[in-house]
Amino acid sequence: LGSRGLGDVYKRQSCWSITPSIGFCRRRFLSTIFARRIRRSWPRSVRSGAKIYGMKGAIIMGCITTYSGEAFNPAQPNPTKIHIADIAHALSLLCRANGHFKQFYSVGQHCINCAMEAKARGYGPHVQLACLLHDASEAYLSDITRPVKEHLAVYLELEGRLQGAIYEKYLTTALSQDEWEWVKDIDNQLLLYEFQVLMPKQVFPQQAHIVGSLQMELLPFEQVQKQYLGLWRQLSQHGEKKGVGA
């Protein structure tokens, strides 16, 4: 990696944005231009407020209060205020698919299933850990569906910065380009499988390629939270970073 950290690798690869295409890049560019026009229409006091928070983007954002009581600024993530307990708790209460599944199915359960699928495919603990953490930024930014997210240039910038900070703190081993592709493929295959199982109608024509046995039943959020934390502890033991607090 040289001087690049794990967070830099994530932001450079942008492996959880929709696969770039000419149309996607054009929509992202247009959404940025639209956001700038919206900002110009704001009152001067509002525009000044946006600068006070130190953002390049268009959103006025101070701090959110996390489950542990931290005052956390998602736009300027402080690694010392990122806690795995906050991530596990919040993700266990966030519903996938904007709540349109037949039953509650959390982002936390999705992340656990991704880690389980990585294990079933024979991937190492560091890949499993990356799968567990791949949506961790949503604990602070919320889950936004892909068709909407591709139009939100500022959100994508925030997501990349925050997810990079989380990987920088918790990923114990650098992943190769191939391993990042494995994580991305598992995330995409899980999305297909979740829609097959939990949507009341067929959405995608292709079938998901799933190797492992996944937990798709309705689970109490406390159970998901506990399982997420337990899996994180187990996987982190294989290469724990020194001096990193939970």
Q: What is the end-to-end Cα distance of the chain in Å, rounded? A: 24
pLDDT at 50: 41
Percent with pLDDT over 90 in the chain? 70
- Cβ-count burial of 180 within 10 angstroms (0-12 exposed, 13-18 middle, 19+ buried)? middle
Reduced to 3 states (helix: H, G, I; strand: E, B; else coil), residue 105 is coil
The rounded distance, in Å, linking the Cα atoms of 228 and 205 is 31
Residue 71 φ/ψ, nearest 5 degrees: -90, 105
Question: Does 197 have pLDDT greater than 90?
Answer: yes
Q: What would the mean pLDDT of 32-41 be, rounded to a whole number?
A: 54
What mean pLDDT comes out for the span 126-139?
98
Does 152 score more than 90 pLDDT? Answer: yes
Banded model confidence at residue 140, pLDDT cuts 50, 70, 90: very high
Band of the pLDDT at 241, cuts 50, 70, 90? low
* Cut 0.75: pTM above it: yes
Does the pLDDT at position 52 exceed 50?
Answer: no
Tens of pLDDT, residue by residue over 162-192, are 999 999 999 988 899 999 999 999 999 999 9
Residue 49 has pLDDT above 50, yes or no: no
> Tokens for 166?
């989380």
Confidence of residue 32 (pLDDT cuts 50, 70, 90): low
Query: What's the full length of the chain, in residues?
Result: 246
Mean pLDDT of the residues in the chain: 83
Across the strands, what pairs with 65? 71
Each residue's pLDDT tens digit, 68-94: 999 999 999 999 999 999 999 999 999
pLDDT of residue 173: 85
* Residue in this structure with the two tokens 């690869």, named with its chain if needed: 13
Q: Which residues pair with residue 217 across a beta bridge? A: none
Please name the residue ranges forming H helices in 67-106. Answer: 84-93
Predicted pLDDT of residue 172: 82
- Whole-angstrom Cα distance, residue 134 to residue 187? 9
pLDDT band at residue 25 under the 50/70/90 scheme: low
What's the pLDDT score for residue 95? 97
Whether residue 56 has pLDDT greater than 70: no
